[in-house]
Protein backbone atom coordinates (compact mmCIF):
# COMPACT_ATOMS: atom_id res chain seq x y z
CA UNK A 1 0.00 0.00 0.00
CA UNK A 2 2.68 2.46 -0.99
CA UNK A 3 1.51 6.03 -0.99
CA UNK A 4 0.72 7.67 -4.30
CA UNK A 5 1.43 11.19 -3.19
CA UNK A 6 3.85 13.09 -5.43
CA UNK A 7 7.50 12.51 -4.75
CA UNK A 8 8.35 16.13 -3.79
CA UNK A 9 5.65 16.05 -1.13
CA UNK A 10 6.90 12.76 0.22
CA UNK A 11 10.40 14.19 0.37
CA UNK A 12 9.16 17.25 2.24
CA UNK A 13 7.28 15.07 4.70
CA UNK A 14 10.20 12.78 5.34
CA UNK A 15 12.66 15.65 5.60
CA UNK A 16 10.45 17.66 7.93
CA UNK A 17 10.10 14.91 10.48
CA UNK A 18 13.74 13.86 10.27
CA UNK A 19 15.10 17.40 10.48
CA UNK A 20 12.80 18.15 13.38
CA UNK A 21 13.98 15.12 15.30
CA UNK A 22 17.69 15.01 14.49
CA UNK A 23 18.71 18.35 13.04
CA UNK A 24 20.01 19.24 9.62
CA UNK A 25 23.53 17.89 9.97
CA UNK A 26 22.56 14.57 11.48
CA UNK A 27 20.21 13.63 8.66
CA UNK A 28 21.55 12.34 5.34
CA UNK A 29 19.91 12.57 1.95
CA UNK A 30 19.95 8.78 1.89
CA UNK A 31 17.85 8.62 5.04
CA UNK A 32 15.41 11.12 3.62
CA UNK A 33 15.01 9.48 0.23
CA UNK A 34 14.74 6.02 1.70
CA UNK A 35 12.06 7.13 4.16
CA UNK A 36 10.23 8.89 1.32
CA UNK A 37 10.53 5.73 -0.79
CA UNK A 38 12.22 7.78 -3.48
CA UNK A 39 15.45 7.39 -5.34
CA UNK A 40 18.68 8.83 -4.05
CA UNK A 41 18.76 11.35 -6.86
CA UNK A 42 15.27 12.64 -6.15
CA UNK A 43 16.35 15.48 -3.87
CA UNK A 44 18.81 16.85 -6.38
CA UNK A 45 16.28 16.47 -9.16
CA UNK A 46 13.29 18.06 -7.46
CA UNK A 47 14.95 20.60 -5.19
CA UNK A 48 18.49 21.06 -6.43
CA UNK A 49 20.29 20.29 -3.20
CA UNK A 50 19.86 19.12 0.36
CA UNK A 51 20.05 22.70 1.59
CA UNK A 52 17.39 23.84 -0.86
CA UNK A 53 15.17 21.05 0.40
CA UNK A 54 15.81 22.25 3.94
CA UNK A 55 14.74 25.76 3.04
CA UNK A 56 11.63 24.39 1.39
CA UNK A 57 10.90 22.46 4.57
CA UNK A 58 11.34 25.58 6.65
CA UNK A 59 9.06 27.48 4.33
CA UNK A 60 6.42 24.83 4.66
CA UNK A 61 6.46 24.15 8.41
CA UNK A 62 6.97 27.87 8.96
CA UNK A 63 3.93 28.70 6.87
CA UNK A 64 1.92 26.25 8.90
CA UNK A 65 3.06 27.83 12.15
CA UNK A 66 2.47 31.35 10.87
CA UNK A 67 -1.00 30.37 9.73
CA UNK A 68 -1.93 29.13 13.18
CA UNK A 69 -0.43 32.24 14.76
CA UNK A 70 -2.36 34.57 12.47
CA UNK A 71 -5.54 32.59 12.87
CA UNK A 72 -5.50 32.94 16.63
CA UNK A 73 -4.13 36.47 16.69
CA UNK A 74 -6.88 37.61 14.35
CA UNK A 75 -9.58 35.72 16.20
CA UNK A 76 -11.92 36.85 18.90
CA UNK A 77 -11.27 37.56 22.54
CA UNK A 78 -9.19 40.05 24.47
CA UNK A 79 -5.55 40.46 23.51
CA UNK A 80 -4.53 38.46 26.55
CA UNK A 81 -6.89 35.66 25.69
CA UNK A 82 -5.48 35.47 22.20
CA UNK A 83 -1.93 35.37 23.52
CA UNK A 84 -2.98 32.53 25.78
CA UNK A 85 -4.46 30.83 22.74
CA UNK A 86 -1.18 31.05 20.87
CA UNK A 87 0.77 29.70 23.80
CA UNK A 88 -1.62 26.81 24.21
CA UNK A 89 -1.47 26.07 20.51
CA UNK A 90 2.33 25.96 20.46
CA UNK A 91 2.31 23.61 23.42
CA UNK A 92 -0.48 21.34 22.24
CA UNK A 93 -0.75 21.24 18.44
CA UNK A 94 -0.08 17.61 17.52
CA UNK A 95 2.20 18.09 14.53
CA UNK A 96 4.29 21.20 14.85
CA UNK A 97 7.92 20.65 13.89
CA UNK A 98 8.67 24.33 13.34
CA UNK A 99 9.69 25.44 16.84
CA UNK A 100 12.33 22.75 17.23
CA UNK A 101 13.78 23.31 13.78
CA UNK A 102 13.81 27.06 14.17
CA UNK A 103 15.36 27.15 17.60
CA UNK A 104 18.03 24.66 16.73
CA UNK A 105 18.98 26.74 13.73
CA UNK A 106 18.95 29.91 15.83
CA UNK A 107 21.32 28.25 18.27
CA UNK A 108 24.22 28.14 15.85
CA UNK A 109 26.48 30.91 14.64
CA UNK A 110 26.03 29.89 11.04
CA UNK A 111 24.14 32.21 8.73
CA UNK A 112 20.41 31.80 9.07
CA UNK A 113 18.32 30.43 6.22
CA UNK A 114 16.71 33.47 4.63
CA UNK A 115 13.09 32.48 5.25
CA UNK A 116 13.72 31.95 8.92
CA UNK A 117 14.39 35.42 10.24
CA UNK A 118 11.38 36.77 8.42
CA UNK A 119 9.20 34.03 9.84
CA UNK A 120 10.26 34.61 13.43
CA UNK A 121 9.97 38.35 13.01
CA UNK A 122 6.47 37.94 11.77
CA UNK A 123 5.40 35.61 14.56
CA UNK A 124 6.99 37.62 17.33
CA UNK A 125 5.57 40.74 15.71
CA UNK A 126 2.11 39.26 15.90
CA UNK A 127 2.50 38.77 19.64
CA UNK A 128 3.92 42.27 20.01
CA UNK A 129 0.88 43.71 18.28
CA UNK A 130 -1.40 41.92 20.68
CA UNK A 131 0.62 43.24 23.58
CA UNK A 132 0.41 46.79 22.28
CA UNK A 133 -3.30 46.38 21.81
CA UNK A 134 -3.67 45.21 25.40
CA UNK A 135 -1.52 48.07 26.64
CA UNK A 136 -3.69 50.53 24.76
CA UNK A 137 -6.85 49.32 26.46
CA UNK A 138 -5.10 49.00 29.80
CA UNK A 139 -5.47 45.25 30.20
CA UNK A 140 -1.73 44.59 29.78
CA UNK A 141 0.83 46.35 31.90
CA UNK A 142 3.31 48.86 30.50
CA UNK A 143 6.72 47.80 29.23
CA UNK A 144 8.69 47.07 26.08
CA UNK A 145 6.52 44.88 23.86
CA UNK A 146 9.59 43.18 22.36
CA UNK A 147 10.79 42.06 25.78
CA UNK A 148 7.33 40.90 26.73
CA UNK A 149 6.96 38.97 23.51
CA UNK A 150 10.23 37.12 24.04
CA UNK A 151 9.36 36.29 27.62
CA UNK A 152 5.97 35.03 26.61
CA UNK A 153 7.12 32.80 23.77
CA UNK A 154 10.29 31.48 25.41
CA UNK A 155 8.52 28.91 27.56
CA UNK A 156 6.28 27.27 24.96
CA UNK A 157 8.99 27.25 22.29
CA UNK A 158 11.59 25.77 24.58
CA UNK A 159 9.25 23.13 25.97
CA UNK A 160 8.14 22.28 22.47
CA UNK A 161 11.71 21.95 21.28
CA UNK A 162 13.04 19.99 24.24
CA UNK A 163 10.12 17.97 25.48
CA UNK A 164 12.62 15.84 27.29
CA UNK A 165 13.02 18.53 29.87
CA UNK A 166 9.67 17.86 31.47
CA UNK A 167 9.75 14.15 30.69
CA UNK A 168 13.25 13.02 31.54
CA UNK A 169 14.52 15.76 33.76
CA UNK A 170 11.87 17.50 35.75
CA UNK A 171 9.93 14.27 36.22
CA UNK A 172 6.77 15.70 34.69
CA UNK A 173 5.12 13.00 32.58
CA UNK A 174 3.60 15.30 30.01
CA UNK A 175 2.79 12.40 27.71
CA UNK A 176 -0.15 11.76 29.99
CA UNK A 177 -2.99 14.02 28.82
CA UNK A 178 -3.93 15.18 32.31
CA UNK A 179 -0.40 16.12 33.22
CA UNK A 180 0.09 17.82 29.92
CA UNK A 181 -3.00 19.86 30.60
CA UNK A 182 -1.58 20.80 33.97
CA UNK A 183 1.65 21.87 32.32
CA UNK A 184 -0.15 24.00 29.76
CA UNK A 185 -2.28 25.53 32.47
CA UNK A 186 0.76 26.36 34.51
CA UNK A 187 2.55 28.02 31.61
CA UNK A 188 -0.54 29.99 30.69
CA UNK A 189 -1.03 31.11 34.26
CA UNK A 190 2.58 32.15 34.56
CA UNK A 191 2.41 34.17 31.38
CA UNK A 192 -0.82 35.78 32.40
CA UNK A 193 0.68 36.87 35.71
CA UNK A 194 3.61 38.49 33.92
CA UNK A 195 1.40 40.37 31.47
CA UNK A 196 -1.87 41.27 33.13
CA UNK A 197 -1.93 44.67 34.79
Please report, as ranges, the residues that interact with DNA according to CB under 7 A.
7, 27-31, 38-46, 49-51
Q: Is 154 in the site for a second copy (CB under 8 A)?
A: yes
Q: Give the integer Cα–Cα distance in Å for 181 and 43.
A: 40
Q: Kindly list the distances between the CA atom of residue 158 and the CA atoms of 25, 112, 135, 141, in Å, as whole numbers in the listed order.
A: 20, 19, 26, 24
Asked if 35 and 91 count as a contact pair (C-beta separation under 8 A), the reply is no
- Partner interacting with residue 129 (select from DNA, a second copy, none; CB below 5-8 Å by kind): none
Minimum Å gap between C-beta 153 and DNA is 30
Compute and round to an integer the Cα radius of gyration of the chain. Answer: 19
Minimum Å gap between C-beta 6 and a second copy is 27
- Largest Cα–Cα separation, the chain: 58
Minimum Å gap between C-beta 47 and DNA is 8
Q: Kindly list the distances between the CA atom of residue 6 and the CA atoms of 41, 46, 52, 193, in Å, as whole numbers in the listed order.
A: 15, 11, 18, 48
- Partner interacting with residue 158 (select from a second copy, DNA, none; CB below 5-8 Å by kind): a second copy
Q: Is 117 in the site for a second copy (CB under 8 A)?
A: yes
Asked if 83 and 127 count as a contact pair (C-beta separation under 8 A), the reply is yes
- Partner interacting with residue 91 (select from a second copy, DNA, none; CB below 5-8 Å by kind): none
- Partner interacting with residue 46 (select from a second copy, DNA, none; CB below 5-8 Å by kind): DNA
Q: Kindly list the distances between the CA atom of residue 81 and the CA atoms of 24, 128, 178, 192, 195, in Å, as whole numbers in the listed order.
A: 35, 14, 22, 9, 11
Q: Where are the beta strands (DSSP E) in the chain?
A: none
Q: Which is nearer to a second copy, 89 or 162 (CB)?
A: 162
Minimum Å gap between C-beta 15 and DNA is 11
Q: Give the integer Cα–Cα distance in Å for 23 and 123.
A: 22
Q: Is 142 in the site for a second copy (CB under 8 A)?
A: no
- Partner interacting with residue 42 (select from a second copy, DNA, none; CB below 5-8 Å by kind): DNA
Binding site for a second copy (CB under 8 A): 21-23, 25-26, 100, 103-104, 106-110, 112, 117, 120-121, 124, 143-144, 146-151, 154-155, 157-159, 161-162, 164-166, 168-172, 182-183, 186-187, 190, 193-194
Amino acid sequence: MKSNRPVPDRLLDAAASLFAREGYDAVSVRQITSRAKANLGAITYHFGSKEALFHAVIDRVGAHLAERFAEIAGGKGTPLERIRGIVTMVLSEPNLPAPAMILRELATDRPLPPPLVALMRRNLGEVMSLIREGQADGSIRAGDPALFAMSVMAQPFLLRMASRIPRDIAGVMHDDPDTHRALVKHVVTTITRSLAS
